[in-house]
Amino acid sequence: MLFSSTIFIFIFLPTVLLVNFALRGHRDAQNVFLCFASLFFYAWGEPKFVLVMMLSILVNWGFGYIIDKHREERTAKLLLVLDIVFNLSIIFVFKYLMFTLENIKMLGAKNLVIPEIALPIGISFFTFQALSYVIDVYRGDAGVQKSLINVALYISLFPQLIAGPIVRYTTVADQIKNRVETFDDFSQGVVRFIFGLGKKIIIANNMALLADYAFSTVGDNSLLLAWLGALAYTFQIYFDFSGYSDMAIGLGLMFGFHFLENFNYPYISTSITEFWRRWHISMGTWFRDYVYIPLGGNRTKTKGRHVFNMFVVWLCTGIWHGANWTFVLWGLMYFVLLVFEKYSGINFKKDGKCKSIKYVYTMFFVICGWVVFRATSLSEAVVYFGDMFSCKNGLISDGFLEYGRQFITYFAVAIVCSTPILPKLKERYKDNVLCSGLMVVVLVAIAIFSISCIVKSSYNPFIYFNF
């Protein structure tokens, strides 16, 4: 079930909200209801894979409980290792086994049979959340949760279940039992959800039309059309994913949960380091806390060890995004750029000199990175770069002129919404009655237009559902 679908907006969400508020004052009943509603939400599109999630919930709850019982013994570490192996094995089988076997077959195992394994939506997200719970219990950063229902609610809670943000158990542990639903939170949640819906339907889906066209004609694009398509995908993936995160955070607020922010205007960054502090924040902090710091982080004695730690993190980051060599290359590209920024001696701080040059440098590599990310293979990425950096198909084409005219308004909106201009204006004029009224009008217009688009047309699923 998609947030941007009529069945979710008009049936599922109102029903769940109504029952949830009817159960106010009965927290255990609320949690049981939200847990089963979340499992139903997942099972709507993935009926057989809900069993995989339920297995994950049961096993991780059990490991957390047993590890807490044996905290002072060596057994606890062994149990933690077994839990990590279990969770990574689930991801490997469903996400990477086919890719691994295909590469083995290419190396000479011609008779190797490769099974067709469907990918459960959002498996990396809910598995990482389950892992963080058990690891935090082992470290003593979180108290063990004896209630299976409460662990199930944490892992399966539908607002952030399919595409994040990746919520740490410590963030919502107290809220599971002691959250307070308020009118202010609910109204803020509705506003946040509508803006997220607008990002997805109005901007991301329209940018997808141009991006899909450019990548479907790879090798035949004029130079400017290739760049226009790459820029369209750059906006598509940002507004698609940040729009989902906005909707997830908004839905959480409606039910009394406060999730941490997942994006902070990454396209205003003047360095790759800053970009990754602003992009997919929950994933970045997860790898930092559970991979980078345990390896030694930046407090190692040698430069070589620090570079190795960064290599492992960015290799894992690339692999996490998908079973394709394009994702591996994408992750390693950022590893090289981040090592360069760390050890080149160039001042990449935002308040340094030549900010415009640093901004161009950052966005150049971000856009090129998204080309690799979007391509279906390394060879396709190479051909697309050939379109971007040569005039073999000409500088300008009819396609560029047609799509440029058609999408110029969407590009203008995307550029403005990629910056904090609008939030700053809202904060500046928050006490102005006229501006407050205008915001309500804009909000209603976004809601009506987005819903009309959903009703009358087909639309793309969220990009990060595949991760």
Which residue bears the tokens 């819903």? 451
Asked whether the bond before 47 is cis by omega within 30 degrees of 0, the reply is no
What is d(CA 4, CA 461) in angstroms, rounded to the nearest whole number? 9
- The tokens of 404 are what? 């440029």
What is d(CA 80, CA 86) in angstroms, rounded to the nearest whole number? 10
What is d(CA 465, CA 241) in angstroms, rounded to the nearest whole number? 9
Handedness of CA 116, 120, 125, 131 (dihedral sign): negative
What is d(CA 176, CA 388) in angstroms, rounded to the nearest whole number? 50
- DSSP letters, 309-338, are HHHHHHHHHHHHH-SSHHHHHHHHHHHHHH
Phi-psi sector, 345: left (phi>0), alpha (psi -120 to 50), beta? left
| Contact in structure between 196 and 332 (CB atoms under 8 Å) | no
Q: Which residues, 6+ apart, have CB-to-CB distance to 306 below 8 Å?
A: 296, 297, 298, 300
Which residue bears the tokens 């044996």? 70
| Contact in structure between 67 and 80 (CB atoms under 8 Å) | yes
What is d(CA 309, CA 297) in angstroms, rounded to the nearest whole number? 7
What is d(CA 331, CA 328) in angstroms, rounded to the nearest whole number? 5
Which residue bears the tokens 């699923």? 461
Residues assigned a catalytic role: 321
Please name the helix (run of DSSP H) or strand (run of DSSP E) that holds residue 137, with its range, or none.
helix 123-139
What is d(CA 38, CA 34) in angstroms, rounded to the nearest whole number? 6
DSSP state of 432: -
| Contact in structure between 159 and 37 (CB atoms under 8 Å) | no
